[in-house]
Amino acid sequence: MKENKVYLYLGALLFLDTLLIFSLSSILNIEGYKIETFGHRGLSECLKDWEFFCDSSNLRGIFLCFHFSNALLLFLFSKDFLKRPSDALFCTLLFLLLPGVNIDIMLLLKGQIIIFFPLLLCLLQQRNQKIPYWLLAIMAILDKSFSLVFLALIFYGISKKDTFLIFSSLAFFALNMYLFGLNIGGYPRGYFIDTSAYLLFLFSPLVFLYFLYALYRFINTSNKPLIWYIAITALCFIWLLSLRQKVEIQAFAPLLIVGLPLMTRLYFCGLRVRLPQFRMRYKIPFIITFIVLLSFTFGLFFSKSLMLLHSAIYLHN
């Protein structure tokens, strides 16, 4: 596929996504005083103090800007990380279809903002081959979610034998903990099943299982990318903490989204090493997985219409 056509299809995807999201704006009306109800603390706590953000349409517009910025950042990163521009387009489509991403937009959760900064970090690191420390300084004072990014950078620095990156990440992690901290305490109670169920919904079940498989396959890779360290650190933290207490899942689960290019790369590499006559066995599981993802996503988008249809059928009977 020519690169010009890829950009045209990307614009069409973003346009269709905009129409679907605005069609849902009539279902949910988030008022300014309800911001904290949906977990907007730390990063967006200041929003409720400004009259401009108390209007739901203005607030939704800001989060939509972050949403489309995330899609563009993911596309730009994937275009360099994956072999073909069409692969990057598919990775962006996958991002736009994820149920958890669309839930963030519907409820104006801070997940879109949390995704933005790690994606920007990974894109700048990939293109410049160095860590933008100015961006780390900004992330350290924004939200506690980025504490896991600093942990991932520590492990990444160890793998690269970069002493400066290790100690600077430790310093940023300490600053982030000083400003926000992590709520680890109370009586130990297991929430592993509840947390796993949320993660299954975030990706859709089959996509999440393949996501886990992709993370596992990259373990033995000699030159693991930064997105792998961020995704695996976030996943391990969420699962380990869920064994003893309830995890603030909306704060840390969005970091997993940066691992989507890993999954896309693994699938297309596995598909293309096979001769065309042997690819159908590889395509059938993909088709089933994609159908399940679409059913989750469109069930979410058209939930109001389905509910009205169900009510009409029930009243008719």
**Ordered mean pLDDT values, 10 residues apiece, the chain (317 residues):** 80 86 61 43 46 56 87 94 91 91 79 93 93 95 93 95 94 93 70 88 90 92 92 94 84 92 90 75 84 81 52 41
Q: What does the buried/exposed string (b/e) look like for 235-268 if buried means 16 or more CB atoms within 10 Å of the residue's CB?
A: bebbeebbebbebbbbbbbbbbbbbbbbbbbbbb
**Domain range holding 167?**
3-316
pTM of the predicted protein model: 0.86
Residues 6+ apart with CB under 8 A from 207: 94, 98, 263, 289, 292, 293
Residue showing tokens 């903990």? 177
Buried b / exposed e along 139-175 (16+ C-beta atoms within 10 A): bbebbbbbbbbbbbbbbbbeeeebeebbebbeebbeb
| Number of C-beta neighbours around residue 300 at 10 A | 17
Residue of 181, 195, 201, 184 lying closest to 242 (CA atoms):
195
Q: Computed from CA positions of residues 215, 126, 75, 117, in that sequence, does the dihedral angle turn out positive or negative?
A: positive
The answer to whether the beta carbons of residues 81 and 265 sit under 8 Å apart is yes
Domain count of the fold of the chain:
1
The H or E element that residue 273 is part of is none
Q: Which of 146, 216, 213, 212 is nearest to 174 (CA)?
A: 146
pLDDT for res 26: 56
70/64 Cα distance (integer angstroms): 10
Evaluate whether 244 touches 189 at the Cβ level (below 8 Å): yes
pLDDT number for residue 33 = 39
The residue among 141, 133, 134, 66 whose CA lies nearest residue 104 is: 66
Structure tokens at 117: 């900064």
Tokens representing 133? Answer: 């420390």
